[in-house]
Amino acid sequence: MTGREPQREDREREERYQQLVELAPETILIHDGERIVLANAAAVRLAGATHRDQLVGQPIDSFLHPPYLKAVEAQLLGSSDVLKPAPPVRDAFRRLDGSEVEVEVTAIAFLDHGRPSAHLVVHDITERLNLQAAARLAEEHLQQAQKMEAVGALAGGVAHEVNNMMSVIMGFSEFLLGAPDMAEERLSEVRHIVRAAERTAAVPTRGGGGGDASKFGVTVQPVTPEIARQLDLKDPSGVVVTRVDPEGAAAEAGMQRGDVIVEIDRKPVKSVDDFEKLIANAGGKQVLMRVQRGGNAIYIAMAPPKK
């Protein structure tokens, strides 16, 4: 074997290495602690460059903020073993146009002609971060939907319990009204109880049972302290939507179960009576409702269906 053969083998290995680096899909940079000495085609694309000369020879900190040189020197001076890649580091890669790309950088320390250097593999994580952000947003929407469903169920449960209690009160009241020895003064008081119980029992089904509000296909009830806590409402005024008819005008306009209606045509809604009066005053015309949904205020325009 002549002295030229080892040189040829070294040259061939170097050429293979250069080819592998050049064809690698990930961005690869080699720097000597100060300047970039090698950049592959993927690095040129990531930097928004047209030629690798726009990277090679440039300070590494023009593109990254890596503390790699000190770490590389510590590794090389502290051990003679084969060095392992450092854990990936989150960084921002600055492109030539000044924009930044979120990346993860893996550094591999080595000696290049006796000088500490770092082989950097730069992975663009923009798509991964976008997917994570979308997943977080979807989770937030799911949690909000579950909260609205819980509020709707709670409101429905409260309405059911109120109706049950009012039925008992009205039953006893009717019994008292039929008592032959009941004094007229007491009968007047019982009649007041009956009217109050009838109004209370009607609250949960208002908007769904009759009148102008029923035309919109929405059922509402007052915002109780428990519902206000569930919805994180600072002001427990308004009425909460407990049911939306899927075929009604409310559903078509985008109203959802758990929405809190706080205004109709710029007028405050503090009770179910307010809600029904304002709907009735509209005379069958379109109304504009201000609605609290998930901590945000939105406006919903709604008109009853034409006959």
What's domain 131-302's superfamily in CATH?
Answer: PDZ domain (2.30.42.10)
Q: What is the mean pLDDT of residues 213-234?
A: 77
**Which residue has tokens 């504009």?**
288
Q: Which residues contact 39 (CB under 8 A, 6 or more apart)?
A: 28, 29, 30, 47, 52, 55, 56
The DSSP string of 167-233 is HHHHHHHHHHHT-TT--HHHHHHHHHHHHHHHHHHHGGGTTTSSTGGGGGTEEEEE--HHHHHHTT-
pLDDT above 70 (res 214): no
The pTM of this model reads 0.44
Q: Which of 4-8, 83-87, 118-122, 206-210 has the highest mean pLDDT?
A: 118-122
CA-based diameter of the chain, in Å? 132
Tens digit of each residue's pLDDT (9 = 90 or more) over 43-65: 999 999 998 889 999 988 888 87
Provide the pLDDT for residue 2.
Answer: 55
Q: 218 pLDDT exceeds 80?
A: yes
Distance CA 51, CA 13 (A): 25
3-state secondary structure of 285: coil
Sign of the Cα pseudo-torsion (22, 23, 27, 33, in order): negative
What does DSSP assign to residue 111?
E
| AA letter at 101 | V
* Domain positions in the chain: 4-124, 131-302
Quick: pLDDT tens for 2-48.
Answer: 556 667 766 767 677 677 777 788 898 888 877 888 899 999 999 99
SS3 246: coil
List Cα–Cα distances, 30 to 48, 84, 143, 147, in angstroms.
Answer: 18, 16, 46, 52
Mean of the pLDDT values across residues 161-185?
62
CATH homologous superfamily of 4-124: PAS domain (3.30.450.20)
